[in-house]
Each structure stands twice: as structure tokens, then as C-alpha cells.
Amino acid sequence: MSIVTENLSYTYMPGTPFERAAIRDINLRIEDGEFVGIIGHTGSGKSTLIQHFNGLLKPTAGRVLINDMDTTGKDLKELRRLVGIVFQYPEHQLFEETVYKDIAFGLRRRNITEEEAREEILKAVEVVGLSEDILEKSPFELSGGQKRRVAIAGVLVMKPSILILDEPTAGLDPRGRDEIFGFITRIHKTMGITVILVSHSMEDIARLVDRVIVMNDGTIEMDGRIEEVFADIDRLEGIGLSAPQVAYLMKKLKSIFPGINDRVYTVPAARDELLKHLKGGYES
């Protein structure tokens, strides 16, 4: 399921002293099944952009097409089923008495039986790595990481074709982050859905996504594959961003070992490159 924006612009509070252009003239195409990262400093337009993808915001100018469906159309219920958004700290939106009821909330609007609903809920819980016995607990008894998973399960149970995650691991410890990114990666690979990840972590972006969109001052500054975007460190730093820390290490190592490949942006890839280079040095 593709996402297309054509000359998309959005202005907050138009015609008032507080008028502010949040995004300007965005032309973008995200193909079905891509895993895309969106990065940018605070206020660059990331959140405004993704809220156009399921009709939460309507364009001030231009348009957004989801599989040729205009987001200004009337069938927003179907659009929001197809495009699921998990906002930052989604556990703050939990409100039901039990985990089961929270996950089931969106299903109540669909014409399915209770048995069918339970089957879908069990599948969603399994996908996010929770056990069935958690369903009758209060969501407020859970740990922060478990609450986050329940909130994501509530989106997945609707079987979206596009999953958008806005800083999904904010506030979690490293183990919690790894667990959530683990099942998000599995969802992308096994279900083949389009995944869009908004993050401030260059390390997470580098190890997870295939394509990076860099937002700056309401426009798209850069758009390309990981190795293309993160190779241009000067340009990233010029707009207040950075490359993953390992990229700086590899550039320093290249000054010592000229033959090393410094276009490496994850720790495992850096380890493999160093081992390969050292092995080659020993053999020679």
C-alpha cells in the first residue's frame, strides 16, 4: 500500500497572529512494504507529516493519497484501519479495566463476532510478545514496556497495511527498546506491511530501516538509503543532526587504516569490517 504526497503543505492557526507553516510543498512517495525512517530536529515537521497519512490532519494545500485514496475523503474509518499510528508514550491512552478490553476497543466498530475478535486479540498479543494470561489484568498493573506493547497490540489488531511509529521506545531501558524493535522488525518481515519509524536515535534508524527521510524546517532535506544519507555528515550537522556514533569512529579509523570502509553505520557492521581488515592485514 503506497503513500503519495503532492505539494503537501500545512499551516497551523492560519489567519491568526500565531500562524505557522509546519510543512511546505512536500512531494513524497513511499512504496508498499518499505521500512522508512523519518528524522529531524524538534519542530522540523515530522509529526505533522505523519498525521496527514491517516487523515488526522487535512492539508492546507496539496493532497495525500493512500493507495489512491484521498485522505480528505469521507471514509476516514477505513483509512484509519489501514494506516495505524502509534504515538509517543501510547500507554497514556490506555483506559479500560482490562488489557483485553483495551486491545478490543477498535474491533467493536467492526462487524465481527466475539469469537472472531478474541482470535484476533490473541494473535496481536502473541505478535508483541505478551502471554495470554495478561489479558484479564488491568493495564495499570503492567510495567512500562508491557503497557507499550499493549498499546501497539491495540493498533495491530486492526490489521493495518501501514504501521507508523512515533518514537515507540521513548523512555524505555535498552532491553525494552530491543524487545520492541525486535517484534516490529518481525512484523515487517513476516507480514510485509509498510513501516514508518520516526526517531531521534540515529543508531536505531541505522540498524532498522532501509530508507531515511530527513526533515528540516518543514521540508524534505534529504531522502535516500542509509549509506547515502549518513555518508553526508557535514550536511546533517549543518541542520543540527548527526550520523550514528559508529560513523565518526570509522572515519577516525580510516585515517589510521586507509583501506578500511568507513561507510558503516551499525556496531555489528563495524565489527565485521574491522575483523575483515585485521584478518587481511595479518594474512598479508
* Alpha-carbon separation of residue 93 from 33, 166, 218 (angstroms): 28, 14, 28
Q: How does pLDDT run across 58-89, given as a tens digit for each residue?
A: 999 999 999 888 998 767 888 888 999 998 87
Structure confidence at residue 284 (pLDDT): 45
- The reply to whether 175 and 262 lie within a common domain is no
Domain range for 85:
3-243
Structure confidence at residue 249 (pLDDT): 93
- The reply to whether 204 and 262 lie within a common domain is no
- The reply to whether 77 and 7 lie within a common domain is yes
- The reply to whether 155 and 250 lie within a common domain is no
Q: How does pLDDT run across 153-166, given as a tens digit for each residue?
A: 999 999 999 999 99
What percent of the chain stands above pLDDT 90? Answer: 64
Q: How does pLDDT run across 92-122, given as a tens digit for each residue?
A: 777 888 999 999 988 887 778 889 999 999 9
Q: Residue 20: which pLDDT band, with cuts at 50, 70 and 90?
A: very high
| Neighbouring C-alpha atoms within 13 Å toward the C-beta of 179 | 15
- The reply to whether 248 and 153 lie within a common domain is no
- The reply to whether 202 and 252 lie within a common domain is no
Q: Work out how many domains the chain is built from and give that number.
A: 2
- The reply to whether 214 and 250 lie within a common domain is no
- Which CATH number do you get for residue 88? 3.40.50.300
* Alpha-carbon separation of residue 188 from 36, 55, 180, 233, 246 (angstroms): 11, 23, 13, 28, 25
**Mean pLDDT to the nearest integer, 249-274:** 90
